[in-house]
Amino acid sequence: MIGSSDQTIADRNTVHVWSVALDEAELDLPELLSDDEISRLGRIHHSRARLAFLRTRAALRLILASYLDCPSKDIIFNYNENGKPALSSDKSHSLTFNLSHSGNHCLLAVTKESDLGVDIERLHSGRDFAALAQRFFTPAEHDLLENSQDEGLFYRMWVLKEASVKARGIKLLSGLDRFQCSVSEQGELNVADKLGEIQPGNWSVRQWQPDDQSIAAIVVGCADVDFVEKTLISY
């Protein structure tokens, strides 16, 4: 299912960005999941959410196994106090990763040694963006949205903030207002860490649209990163 079984990352300046289609029935592989993941799967009552979880975890294990050169079933995950997953230290090969999915699209970012966070959000028209911004964004960001005619700005800000939160491994709702977005004179969207732990010169940021229905962002704790796109394919 993966184009090559010997995936490698040369150094922390390289990030592989995997795109996974969650409508692939070939990813219905519960035999790859751990007992804990099977228990989590059983607690999901909505059928679409349950299927997305199964296929996301199967894809995660298949892809990481291609780097670690081990059976997918043997991969062990550890979780920090806020639930961010990481590879067991004795089998990690210095790899770090982060995962996000929305709708039928999943993104997995993999690198070496550097902290990273990725987020993808599916676009929905007609939402009350002002109310959401007032609840989760800083006053300056709320004002920025109120003065903008760009409906996509809310999503671009959201994914950038959430990717920043995930990169630091902190709780989402308690961390969203720690990272503040602003628009430069050139019209570029930037994000700043109000605690100063993430400095623009030491971190790399990428924003893009994986398709016409979604917006994504990656934040990596390393400067001058080379992003390499990968696709999980079935055959």
Q: How does pLDDT run along the chain (235 residues), one tens digit per residue?
A: 554 456 889 888 999 999 999 998 999 999 999 999 999 999 999 999 999 999 999 999 999 999 998 999 999 999 999 889 999 877 678 999 999 999 999 999 999 999 999 999 999 877 777 788 888 888 899 888 888 878 789 999 999 999 999 999 988 877 788 899 988 888 889 898 888 776 667 889 999 999 989 999 999 999 999 999 999 865 4
SS3 122: strand
- Which single residue is written with the structure tokens 């959401």? 132
